[in-house]
C-alpha cells in the first residue's frame, strides 16, 4: 500500500500500472495483507502465519479490529508466548513489567497487562509456531476479521458502513451488522456516479431479482468499493481470474479485472511445489 495525498488515504498498488504513475517522491510503500484467509490453519508456512499475526496485531493496535478485554488478554498472551517463550519467574519477574514494552491494544491498561501475564503462565510448553496458530484461530473469530470498510449511506440517507470480506458484502450501522449479501446470492455489482448497486438472486419464496443501492462520498469512492468487491470475489470464489480480452467494439465503463492468483491457485501451487531448502 501507499499513501495517496490527493485521496488522503492508503491505496493498494495496481499491478498493471507503472510505479512512477502511482508513487510520488519519496516512493514509500507498506507491506500489508490484502486477503485474509478464512481459515489461517491452512497456511502451510510458519513465516506466512507469522506475517499474518503481525498484520492482525497492527489491525488491533490501530483499532481497525476491535475486540473485548478477554480477547485482548488471550491474544496478547499468545503473542508473548511466541516472542518470549515460557513464563519464568526468575527471568521475567513477578510483575507485568517484562511485557510493558509490548503494544497490545489501542488503550492498554495495567489490568490488561496483569491479565495477559496470568494467561501467559498457562501456556507453558507451546512453541512459537503453536502459539501463533492459536493466535490466528482466535483472531479469525472476531467479527471484523478480514473486513474492509467503506462509509456509505443507505436508500434513506442513513449513515452506514459497507464491509467486504471473503464471504461477501456486509452492512453495518452503529457498529452492528444489519445485513449480509453472500457472494453466491449476488448476481452483479456495479456503480454509477457515486452510487453502488448490488443485484441479488430471488429468495426461496421470491420470483424476481432485486437491487439494493447505496450512496458513497463520490464517484471515486464508489469505483474503489466496486474494485475491492471484484478482487475479493475473484480471489476467494474463482478457480482462476477472468481473462481480460481485448474488446472487438468500443465499450464504456470500467474494464478492470483481478489479475493476481486466486486462493485456489495458491493452494494448488503450494501442493505441487517442491521445496529445495
Cα gap 229→104, rounded to integer Å: 31
Do 73 and 119 contact (CB within 8 A), yes or no? yes
Residue from 87, 97, 83, 98 nearest 131 by CA: 83
Contact 106, 61 (CB under 8 A): yes
Rounded Cα distance between 84 and 86, Å, is 7
Spatial separation of the C-alpha atoms in residues 213 and 191, rounded to whole Å: 9
Per-residue model confidence as pLDDT tens for the chain (277 residues): 888 777 777 888 887 778 878 887 777 888 899 999 999 988 888 899 999 999 999 999 998 999 999 999 999 999 999 999 999 999 998 999 999 999 999 988 999 999 999 999 999 999 999 999 999 999 999 999 999 999 999 989 999 999 999 999 999 999 899 999 999 999 999 999 999 999 999 877 778 889 999 999 999 999 999 999 999 999 998 887 766 555 443 434 456 677 678 888 887 777 676 454 4
How far is 19 from 2, CA to CA, in rounded Å?
11
Cβ neighbour number for residue 250 with a 10 Å cutoff: 5
Q: Is 53 within 8 Å of 132 (Cβ atoms)?
A: yes
Amino acid at each position: 500500500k501507499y499513501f495517496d495525498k490527493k485521496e488522503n488515504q492508503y491505496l493498494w498498488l495496481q499491478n498493471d500500472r507503472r510505479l512512477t504513475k502511482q508513487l510520488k517522491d519519496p516512493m514509500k510503500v507498506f507491506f500489508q495483507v490484502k486477503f485474509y484467509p478464512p481459515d489461517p490453519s491452512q497456511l502451510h508456512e510458519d513465516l506466512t502465519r507469522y506475517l499474518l499475526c503481525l498484520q492482525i496485531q497492527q489491525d488491533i493496535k490501530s483499532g481497525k479490529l476491535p475486540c473485548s478485554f478477554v480477547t485482548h488478554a488471550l491474544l496478547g498472551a499468545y503473542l508473548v508466548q511466541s516472542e518470549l517463550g515460557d513464563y519464568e519467574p526468575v527471568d521475567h519477574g513477578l510483575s507485568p513489567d517484562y511485557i510493558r514494552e509490548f503494544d497490545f491494544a489501542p488503550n492498554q491498561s495495567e489490568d490488561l497487562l496483569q491479565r495477559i501475564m496470568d494467561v501467559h503462565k498457562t501456556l507453558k510448553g507451546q512453541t512459537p509456531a503453536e502459539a501463533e496458530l492459536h493466535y490466528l484461530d482466535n483472531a479469525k473469530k472476531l467479527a471484523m476479521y478480514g473486513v474492509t470498510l467503506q462509509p456509505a449511506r443507505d436508500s434513506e440517507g442513513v449513515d452506514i458502513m459497507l464491509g467486504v470480506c471473503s464471504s461477501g458484502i456486509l452492512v453495518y450501522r452503529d457498529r452492528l451488522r444489519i445485513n449480509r449479501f453472500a457472494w453466491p446470492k449476488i448476481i452483479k455489482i456495479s456503480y454509477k456516479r457515486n452510487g453502488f448497486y448490488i443485484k441479488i438472486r430471488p429468495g426461496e419464496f421470491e420470483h424476481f431479482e432485486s437491487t439494493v443501492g447505496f450512496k458513497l462520498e463520490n464517484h471515486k469512492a464508489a469505483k474503489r468499493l466496486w474494485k475491492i468487491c471484484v478482487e475479493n470475489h475473484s480471489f476467494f470464489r474463482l478457480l482462476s481470474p477472468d481473462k481480460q480480452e481485448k474488446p472487438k467494439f468500443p465499450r464504456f465503463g470500467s474494464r478492470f479485472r483481478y489479475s493476481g492468483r486466486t486462493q485456489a491457485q495458491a493452494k494448488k501451487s503450494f501442493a505441487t511445489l517442491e521445496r529445495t531448502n
